[in-house]
Amino acid sequence: MPTKGMGRPQRKEMRIVVIGGGTGLSVLLRGLKYEPVHITAIVTVADDGGSSGRLRAEMDMPPPGDIRNVLTALADTEPLMEKVMQYRFSAGTGLAGHNLGNLLLAAMNEITGDFVTAVKALSGVLAVRGDVLPASTQSIQLVAEMTDGALVAGESQIPLAGKKIKRVFLEPADAAPLNEALLAIADADAILIGPGSLYTSIIPNLLVRGLFSAVSRSTAPKIYICNVMTQPGETDGFAASHHVHAMYQHVGEAFLDTIIVNSAKLPLHVLEKYAEKGAKPVRCDLKQLRQLGLQIVAKPLVTFEDGYLRHDAHAVSRQVVSLLKRRRRS
């Protein structure tokens, strides 16, 4: 059964560890950084596509893309600096397709000789609120086994395979976690998982040997923030409970206390837009979630920006902090 927070000395500032990657994690952090908490973001390093994949292959470094997005989300900088970090070159031999923030991380990695030190150095430049840590500094490849037995290698290729995923695994299987990440988990007042791509952003972190063991040992509440929409090629047809089951199957135990799910009805024009790409709302199957012993927070938690559905970062963050304050009082 999931463990509950107990007997932890109270601190004025709660320490929250957030585990994930991709756009969903960055959106959440944009709201959470304004709450009275200390954030440690533990970010996946399995990306192998685009600018990140090129730098990973050519410079023998962890892929910087998800790290860059998290740094930008947590940064206390002028809007222009954010545009600089996210700027992608459209022309230039060798430059086209590269993101400037990725190149800055690559440069820092070369200067310092260490990726973690590079991330910390750029965090200082950007006045990042909190700590950003890669789940591992080793070169990790994500591999998916499909239900038909086929193997698909590479995070960027898995959703494109057009097949149902049975499981994902890491190569090498014994990739070591960052010690600072383990210490942050051990010291956390709460552990948030997601939102993000289930098989390519969330589960890869949990598969880093030793990292999930630290999560499992922690007595802090463990909260999963479920995606709003299914993701074609990953979670087609998934309800909220299917996301939870997939995590449990990969780590071999039930470990979550709480799930936060969106309950807002989505406008028809939004549903039609996503249906064109094969995505549907993630159904909040309350009965199945209760059977899993989870506390359920079901609230309207979405906003529509730039033509896309996003979690309302401030609304989700307020729910998380309110939940933790209630646990502290009890």
Instruction: Answer whether residue 112 is part of any domain.
Output: yes
Helix, strand, coil % in the chain, rounded to nearest 5: 40, 20, 40
Instruction: Answer whether residue 196 is part of any domain.
Output: yes
Q: What is the pLDDT along the chain (330 residues), one digit of tens a residue?
A: 554 444 455 667 899 999 999 888 999 999 999 999 999 999 999 888 888 889 988 888 899 989 999 999 999 876 777 788 888 888 878 788 888 989 999 999 999 999 999 999 999 989 999 999 999 988 899 999 999 999 999 999 999 998 999 999 999 999 999 999 999 999 999 999 999 999 999 999 999 989 999 999 999 999 999 999 999 999 999 999 999 999 999 999 999 999 999 999 898 989 999 999 999 999 999 999 999 999 999 999 999 877 788 899 999 999 999 999 888 887
Q: How far apart are CA 279 and CA 101, in angstroms?
A: 30
Q: What is the pTM of this model?
A: 0.92
The residue among 89, 108, 134 that closes a domain is 134
Decide if 43 contacts 97 (C-beta within 8 A): no
Burial of 72 (0-12, 13-18, 19+ CB in 10 A): buried
- pLDDT recorded at residue 26: 92
* Domain containing residue 60: 47-134
Instruction: Answer whether residue 149 is part of any domain.
Output: no
Whether residues 257 and 273 share a domain: the answer is: yes
Q: How far apart are CA 241 and CA 116, in angstroms?
A: 35
- pLDDT recorded at residue 317: 95
Whether residues 193 and 275 share a domain: the answer is: yes
Whether residues 190 and 307 share a domain: the answer is: yes
Instruction: Answer whether residue 140 is part of any domain.
Output: no
- pLDDT recorded at residue 9: 55
Give the residues across from 281 on adjacent strands. 229
Whether residues 58 and 102 share a domain: the answer is: yes
Decide if 161 contacts 193 (C-beta within 8 A): no
Whether residues 122 and 268 share a domain: the answer is: no
Whether residues 178 and 29 share a domain: the answer is: yes
Instruction: Answer whether residue 141 is part of any domain.
Output: no
Instruction: Answer whether residue 153 is part of any domain.
Output: no
Whether residues 273 and 241 share a domain: the answer is: yes
The residue among 89, 112, 134 that closes a domain is 134
Whether residues 58 and 32 share a domain: the answer is: no
Q: What are phi and psi of 54, to 5 degrees?
A: -65, -45
Whether residues 119 and 216 share a domain: the answer is: no
CATH number at residue 207: 3.40.50.10680
The amino acid sitting at 161 is A
- pLDDT recorded at residue 306: 72
- Which pair of structure tokens corresponds to residue 194? 């997601």
Q: What are phi and psi of 321, to 5 degrees?
A: -65, -40
Q: What are phi and psi of 279, to 5 degrees?
A: -105, 140
- pLDDT recorded at residue 250: 98
Number of structural domains the chain divides into: 2
Whether residues 308 and 179 share a domain: the answer is: yes
Instruction: Answer whether residue 9 is part of any domain.
Output: no
CB atoms within 10 A of CB 100: 17
Whether residues 188 and 310 share a domain: the answer is: yes
Whether residues 317 and 180 share a domain: the answer is: yes
The residue among 134, 161, 189 that closes a domain is 134
Instruction: Answer whether residue 158 is part of any domain.
Output: no
Kindly give the interhelix angle for 100-112 and 79-86, rounded to the nearest 10 degrees. Answer: 80
Q: Where are the beta strands (DSSP E) in the chain?
A: 14-20, 37-43, 131-134, 141-146, 151-153, 165-171, 190-193, 222-225, 258-262, 295-299, 302-305, 308-311
